[in-house]
Structure 1
Amino acid sequence: MPSIPHDLAAFLVEAKRRTYAGLDDDATVATPLLAGSKQLEHRAAPYAYRDIYFGMGFFVGQETVSRDERVIWSMSYSGGVRGDIADRDTFLSIYQFLRQALLAVPAEEPYRGPRRFEQDGMVYRNEAEGALDRFHGVETIAGQDGTSFYQLRYGGGMLR
Protein backbone atom coordinates (compact mmCIF):
# COMPACT_ATOMS: atom_id res chain seq x y z
CA MET A 1 0.00 0.00 0.00
CA PRO A 2 1.46 3.40 -0.98
CA SER A 3 2.01 5.84 1.83
CA ILE A 4 -0.14 8.95 1.93
CA PRO A 5 1.84 12.20 2.22
CA HIS A 6 0.84 13.97 5.44
CA ASP A 7 -0.02 17.22 3.61
CA LEU A 8 -1.92 15.74 0.62
CA ALA A 9 -5.42 16.12 2.11
CA ALA A 10 -4.82 19.79 2.98
CA PHE A 11 -3.49 20.43 -0.54
CA LEU A 12 -6.57 18.76 -2.09
CA VAL A 13 -8.91 20.93 -0.01
CA GLU A 14 -7.05 24.08 -1.09
CA ALA A 15 -6.92 23.01 -4.75
CA LYS A 16 -10.62 22.20 -4.92
CA ARG A 17 -11.59 25.48 -3.27
CA ARG A 18 -9.38 27.42 -5.71
CA THR A 19 -10.67 25.74 -8.87
CA TYR A 20 -14.23 24.63 -9.73
CA ALA A 21 -15.84 25.07 -6.29
CA GLY A 22 -14.55 28.60 -5.78
CA LEU A 23 -14.02 29.92 -9.29
CA ASP A 24 -16.23 27.76 -11.55
CA ASP A 25 -14.89 27.91 -15.09
CA ASP A 26 -12.89 31.07 -14.31
CA ALA A 27 -10.14 28.67 -13.21
CA THR A 28 -10.03 27.09 -16.68
CA VAL A 29 -6.71 27.22 -18.50
CA ALA A 30 -6.76 28.86 -21.93
CA THR A 31 -5.41 25.89 -23.89
CA PRO A 32 -6.44 22.56 -22.37
CA LEU A 33 -4.38 19.43 -23.04
CA LEU A 34 -7.42 17.70 -24.56
CA ALA A 35 -9.44 19.54 -27.22
CA GLY A 36 -13.01 20.26 -26.13
CA SER A 37 -12.30 19.78 -22.43
CA LYS A 38 -12.36 22.14 -19.48
CA GLN A 39 -9.07 22.08 -17.58
CA LEU A 40 -8.61 23.64 -14.15
CA GLU A 41 -5.27 23.79 -12.34
CA HIS A 42 -3.77 24.77 -9.01
CA ARG A 43 -0.14 24.62 -7.91
CA ALA A 44 1.49 24.84 -4.48
CA ALA A 45 4.97 23.30 -4.43
CA PRO A 46 5.69 20.42 -4.38
CA TYR A 47 2.14 19.63 -5.64
CA ALA A 48 0.22 20.35 -8.83
CA TYR A 49 -3.52 19.66 -9.19
CA ARG A 50 -5.29 19.24 -12.52
CA ASP A 51 -8.99 18.63 -13.16
CA ILE A 52 -9.99 17.84 -16.76
CA TYR A 53 -13.61 17.19 -17.71
CA PHE A 54 -15.92 17.00 -20.72
CA GLY A 55 -19.60 17.89 -20.88
CA MET A 56 -21.96 19.83 -18.68
CA GLY A 57 -25.45 18.31 -18.32
CA PHE A 58 -23.73 14.93 -18.10
CA PHE A 59 -19.97 15.14 -17.63
CA VAL A 60 -16.97 12.87 -17.16
CA GLY A 61 -13.64 13.92 -15.70
CA GLN A 62 -10.46 13.11 -13.89
CA GLU A 63 -8.49 14.91 -11.20
CA THR A 64 -4.79 14.27 -10.69
CA VAL A 65 -2.23 15.40 -8.14
CA SER A 66 1.43 15.39 -9.11
CA ARG A 67 4.33 15.66 -6.73
CA ASP A 68 7.67 16.62 -8.27
CA GLU A 69 6.26 16.03 -11.78
CA ARG A 70 4.96 12.49 -11.01
CA VAL A 71 1.22 11.78 -10.69
CA ILE A 72 0.69 10.22 -7.25
CA TRP A 73 -3.10 10.48 -6.75
CA SER A 74 -6.10 10.46 -9.03
CA MET A 75 -9.89 10.48 -8.93
CA SER A 76 -12.26 9.87 -11.83
CA TYR A 77 -15.91 10.94 -11.83
CA SER A 78 -19.04 11.03 -13.98
CA GLY A 79 -22.53 12.33 -13.49
CA GLY A 80 -24.77 15.31 -13.95
CA VAL A 81 -28.29 16.66 -13.74
CA ARG A 82 -31.31 14.50 -14.42
CA GLY A 83 -31.81 14.03 -18.18
CA ASP A 84 -35.22 15.69 -18.32
CA ILE A 85 -34.01 18.95 -16.75
CA ALA A 86 -33.71 21.32 -19.70
CA ASP A 87 -34.50 24.71 -18.15
CA ARG A 88 -31.26 26.72 -18.14
CA ASP A 89 -32.06 28.59 -14.89
CA THR A 90 -32.77 25.31 -13.06
CA PHE A 91 -29.61 23.82 -14.50
CA LEU A 92 -27.49 26.78 -13.38
CA SER A 93 -29.04 26.91 -9.90
CA ILE A 94 -28.25 23.21 -9.34
CA TYR A 95 -24.60 23.74 -10.31
CA GLN A 96 -24.36 26.93 -8.22
CA PHE A 97 -25.65 24.95 -5.23
CA LEU A 98 -23.17 22.15 -6.03
CA ARG A 99 -20.24 24.60 -5.95
CA GLN A 100 -21.41 25.85 -2.53
CA ALA A 101 -21.44 22.27 -1.24
CA LEU A 102 -18.02 21.56 -2.76
CA LEU A 103 -16.53 24.62 -1.02
CA ALA A 104 -17.24 22.76 2.24
CA VAL A 105 -14.96 19.84 1.23
CA PRO A 106 -13.71 18.21 4.45
CA ALA A 107 -10.02 17.39 4.99
CA GLU A 108 -11.03 13.99 6.43
CA GLU A 109 -12.59 13.01 3.07
CA PRO A 110 -11.25 15.48 0.47
CA TYR A 111 -12.94 13.85 -2.53
CA ARG A 112 -16.04 15.98 -3.17
CA GLY A 113 -18.24 17.79 -0.63
CA PRO A 114 -19.29 17.10 2.97
CA ARG A 115 -21.55 14.20 3.98
CA ARG A 116 -24.54 16.59 3.98
CA PHE A 117 -25.09 20.20 2.97
CA GLU A 118 -28.40 22.02 2.86
CA GLN A 119 -29.23 25.46 1.43
CA ASP A 120 -32.01 27.21 -0.52
CA GLY A 121 -34.36 24.20 -0.50
CA MET A 122 -31.77 21.75 -1.83
CA VAL A 123 -29.97 18.93 -0.05
CA TYR A 124 -26.52 17.64 -1.06
CA ARG A 125 -25.46 14.19 0.17
CA ASN A 126 -22.11 12.48 -0.24
CA GLU A 127 -21.74 8.81 0.60
CA ALA A 128 -18.03 7.94 0.58
CA GLU A 129 -16.24 4.72 1.44
CA GLY A 130 -12.54 4.10 1.92
CA ALA A 131 -9.63 6.40 2.64
CA LEU A 132 -7.42 8.73 0.61
CA ASP A 133 -5.38 5.78 -0.69
CA ARG A 134 -8.46 4.00 -2.18
CA PHE A 135 -12.04 5.29 -2.10
CA HIS A 136 -15.32 5.57 -3.99
CA GLY A 137 -18.59 7.34 -3.49
CA VAL A 138 -21.80 8.83 -4.78
CA GLU A 139 -23.01 12.41 -4.38
CA THR A 140 -26.60 13.49 -4.96
CA ILE A 141 -28.64 16.67 -4.94
CA ALA A 142 -32.35 16.58 -4.21
CA GLY A 143 -35.11 18.93 -3.21
CA GLN A 144 -36.47 19.08 0.35
CA ASP A 145 -39.25 16.72 -0.80
CA GLY A 146 -36.70 14.13 -1.98
CA THR A 147 -37.03 14.85 -5.72
CA SER A 148 -33.66 13.95 -7.26
CA PHE A 149 -31.94 16.58 -9.45
CA TYR A 150 -28.36 15.36 -9.80
CA GLN A 151 -26.07 12.38 -9.21
CA LEU A 152 -22.32 11.79 -9.58
CA ARG A 153 -20.18 8.69 -8.95
CA TYR A 154 -16.48 8.92 -8.20
CA GLY A 155 -13.51 6.77 -7.23
CA GLY A 156 -9.77 6.96 -6.92
CA GLY A 157 -6.73 6.80 -4.68
CA MET A 158 -2.96 6.75 -4.46
CA LEU A 159 -1.22 5.44 -7.56
CA ARG A 160 1.48 2.82 -7.33
Structure 2
Amino acid sequence: MTHRLPDALSDLAAFLVEAKRRTYAGLDDDATIAAPLLAGSKQLEHRAPPYTYRDIYFGMGFFVGQETVSRDDRVIWSMSYSGGARSDIDDRATLLSIYQFLRQALLAVSVDMPYRGPASLTADDLAYRNDVEGSLERFHGVEVIAQGGVDLYELRYGGGLLR
Protein backbone atom coordinates (compact mmCIF):
# COMPACT_ATOMS: atom_id res chain seq x y z
CA MET A 1 0.00 0.00 0.00
CA THR A 2 1.40 3.37 -1.00
CA HIS A 3 0.45 6.49 0.93
CA ARG A 4 0.52 9.91 -0.63
CA LEU A 5 3.37 12.10 0.51
CA PRO A 6 2.78 15.79 1.27
CA ASP A 7 3.88 17.96 -1.67
CA ALA A 8 7.19 19.04 -0.05
CA LEU A 9 8.14 15.40 0.66
CA SER A 10 6.96 14.33 -2.78
CA ASP A 11 9.29 16.96 -4.30
CA LEU A 12 12.15 15.73 -2.09
CA ALA A 13 11.55 12.09 -3.06
CA ALA A 14 11.49 12.99 -6.78
CA PHE A 15 14.72 14.99 -6.38
CA LEU A 16 16.41 12.08 -4.56
CA VAL A 17 15.52 9.70 -7.39
CA GLU A 18 16.91 12.13 -9.99
CA ALA A 19 20.08 12.78 -7.96
CA LYS A 20 20.82 9.11 -7.37
CA ARG A 21 20.34 8.28 -11.05
CA ARG A 22 22.64 11.15 -12.07
CA THR A 23 25.47 10.28 -9.67
CA TYR A 24 26.81 6.85 -8.60
CA ALA A 25 24.00 4.69 -10.01
CA GLY A 26 24.12 6.23 -13.48
CA LEU A 27 27.65 7.56 -13.79
CA ASP A 28 29.74 5.54 -11.28
CA ASP A 29 32.87 7.48 -10.36
CA ASP A 30 32.46 9.74 -13.43
CA ALA A 31 30.20 11.83 -11.17
CA THR A 32 33.04 12.36 -8.65
CA ILE A 33 34.08 15.96 -8.14
CA ALA A 34 37.78 16.84 -8.40
CA ALA A 35 38.25 18.47 -4.97
CA PRO A 36 36.23 16.62 -2.31
CA LEU A 37 35.57 18.28 1.06
CA LEU A 38 37.24 15.39 2.91
CA ALA A 39 40.70 14.21 1.84
CA GLY A 40 40.70 10.64 0.57
CA SER A 41 36.95 10.54 -0.06
CA LYS A 42 34.87 10.21 -3.19
CA GLN A 43 32.32 13.01 -3.46
CA LEU A 44 29.40 13.07 -5.88
CA GLU A 45 27.01 15.98 -6.31
CA HIS A 46 23.85 16.90 -8.15
CA ARG A 47 22.03 20.24 -8.13
CA ALA A 48 18.50 21.13 -9.18
CA PRO A 49 17.55 24.32 -7.34
CA PRO A 50 16.39 24.68 -4.68
CA TYR A 51 17.96 21.28 -3.86
CA THR A 52 21.58 20.09 -3.70
CA TYR A 53 22.53 16.43 -3.22
CA ARG A 54 25.94 15.38 -1.93
CA ASP A 55 27.25 11.83 -1.41
CA ILE A 56 30.62 11.46 0.33
CA TYR A 57 32.13 8.02 0.90
CA PHE A 58 35.38 6.24 1.73
CA GLY A 59 36.53 2.79 0.63
CA MET A 60 35.56 0.24 -2.01
CA GLY A 61 35.52 -3.37 -0.86
CA PHE A 62 34.08 -2.10 2.42
CA PHE A 63 32.89 1.50 2.46
CA VAL A 64 31.11 4.05 4.61
CA GLY A 65 29.36 7.21 3.52
CA GLN A 66 26.74 9.84 3.96
CA GLU A 67 24.26 11.44 1.60
CA THR A 68 22.76 14.84 2.30
CA VAL A 69 20.13 16.97 0.63
CA SER A 70 20.12 20.72 1.14
CA ARG A 71 17.26 23.04 0.32
CA ASP A 72 18.30 26.66 -0.08
CA ASP A 73 21.73 25.86 1.44
CA ARG A 74 20.32 24.20 4.60
CA VAL A 75 20.71 20.43 5.04
CA ILE A 76 17.21 18.99 5.47
CA TRP A 77 17.69 15.23 4.88
CA SER A 78 20.51 12.76 5.36
CA MET A 79 21.27 9.06 5.05
CA SER A 80 24.33 7.26 6.40
CA TYR A 81 25.43 3.89 5.07
CA SER A 82 28.13 1.26 5.49
CA GLY A 83 28.81 -2.09 3.92
CA GLY A 84 30.39 -3.82 1.01
CA ALA A 85 31.52 -7.14 -0.36
CA ARG A 86 32.39 -10.08 1.87
CA SER A 87 35.93 -9.75 3.24
CA ASP A 88 37.11 -12.88 1.40
CA ILE A 89 36.21 -11.30 -1.96
CA ASP A 90 39.34 -9.36 -2.80
CA ASP A 91 39.88 -9.64 -6.54
CA ARG A 92 39.06 -6.44 -8.40
CA ALA A 93 37.13 -8.11 -11.25
CA THR A 94 34.67 -9.74 -8.85
CA LEU A 95 34.25 -6.51 -6.88
CA LEU A 96 33.62 -4.57 -10.09
CA SER A 97 30.99 -7.08 -11.25
CA ILE A 98 29.19 -6.89 -7.88
CA TYR A 99 29.19 -3.08 -7.99
CA GLN A 100 28.09 -3.01 -11.64
CA PHE A 101 25.05 -5.08 -10.65
CA LEU A 102 24.54 -2.82 -7.61
CA ARG A 103 24.43 0.26 -9.86
CA GLN A 104 21.84 -1.53 -12.04
CA ALA A 105 19.71 -2.05 -8.91
CA LEU A 106 20.25 1.52 -7.73
CA LEU A 107 19.08 2.86 -11.10
CA ALA A 108 15.71 1.25 -10.31
CA VAL A 109 15.23 3.54 -7.27
CA SER A 110 11.65 4.80 -6.99
CA VAL A 111 9.86 7.73 -5.36
CA ASP A 112 8.07 5.22 -3.11
CA MET A 113 11.45 4.02 -1.73
CA PRO A 114 14.00 6.75 -2.59
CA TYR A 115 16.75 5.31 -0.37
CA ARG A 116 18.59 2.64 -2.35
CA GLY A 117 17.23 0.19 -4.97
CA PRO A 118 13.93 -1.67 -5.42
CA ALA A 119 12.65 -4.37 -3.05
CA SER A 120 14.19 -7.00 -5.34
CA LEU A 121 15.94 -7.44 -8.67
CA THR A 122 17.51 -10.41 -10.42
CA ALA A 123 19.80 -10.51 -13.44
CA ASP A 124 21.89 -13.39 -14.72
CA ASP A 125 22.82 -15.30 -11.56
CA LEU A 126 22.73 -12.34 -9.15
CA ALA A 127 19.87 -11.36 -6.85
CA TYR A 128 19.42 -8.00 -5.10
CA ARG A 129 17.06 -7.46 -2.21
CA ASN A 130 16.36 -4.34 -0.19
CA ASP A 131 14.42 -4.47 3.07
CA VAL A 132 13.51 -1.06 4.49
CA GLU A 133 11.38 0.08 7.41
CA GLY A 134 9.98 3.56 7.90
CA SER A 135 9.36 6.46 5.59
CA LEU A 136 11.29 9.35 4.08
CA GLU A 137 11.01 11.14 7.43
CA ARG A 138 12.83 8.31 9.33
CA PHE A 139 13.96 4.96 7.95
CA HIS A 140 16.54 2.17 8.12
CA GLY A 141 17.25 -0.77 5.90
CA VAL A 142 19.61 -3.39 4.57
CA GLU A 143 20.42 -4.36 0.99
CA VAL A 144 22.02 -7.66 -0.02
CA ILE A 145 23.42 -9.07 -3.25
CA ALA A 146 23.55 -12.85 -3.45
CA GLN A 147 24.66 -15.42 -5.99
CA GLY A 148 23.26 -18.93 -5.82
CA GLY A 149 21.81 -18.21 -2.39
CA VAL A 150 25.19 -17.07 -1.01
CA ASP A 151 25.45 -13.45 0.15
CA LEU A 152 28.29 -11.59 -1.58
CA TYR A 153 27.52 -8.04 -0.45
CA GLU A 154 25.59 -6.33 2.34
CA LEU A 155 24.95 -2.67 3.16
CA ARG A 156 23.06 -1.15 6.09
CA TYR A 157 21.63 2.35 5.93
CA GLY A 158 19.44 4.76 7.84
CA GLY A 159 18.39 8.36 7.90
CA GLY A 160 15.56 10.83 7.50
CA LEU A 161 14.50 14.44 7.75
CA LEU A 162 16.62 16.61 10.01
CA ARG A 163 14.89 18.82 12.56
TM-score (norm 2): 0.94
- Find runs of 4+ consecutive structure 1 residues off by over 2 angstroms: 3-6
Give distance in 2, aligned partners of 1:86 and 1:55.
13
* Unpaired stretches in structure 2, ≥5 consecutive residues: 1-5
1:34-83 C-alpha deviation (Å, 9 max, x unpaired): 00000000000100000000000000000000000000000000000000
Give distance in 1, aligned partners of 2:92 and 2:57.
20
Letter of the aligned partner of 1:150 in structure 2? Y
**Greater mean deviation of Cα atoms: 65-74 or 4-13:** 4-13
Give distance in 2, aligned partners of 1:120 and 1:22.
20
Give distance in 2, aligned partners of 1:88 and 1:28.
20
* Unpaired stretches in structure 1, ≥5 consecutive residues: none
Count of residues paired in the alignment: 157
Q: How many Å apart are 1:5 and its aligned residue? A: 3.0
Letter of the aligned partner of 1:155 in structure 2? G
1:96-154 C-alpha deviation (Å, 9 max, x unpaired): 000000000011010000000111210000000000000000000001x2011000000
- Which of 54, 65, 69 is the aligned partner of 2:69? 65
Q: Compute the RMSD of aligned alpha carbons.
A: 0.9
- In structure 2, the partner of 1:146 is 149
TM-score (norm 1): 0.96
Give distance in 1, aligned partners of 2:124 and 2:70.
37
- Identity of matched residues, %: 76
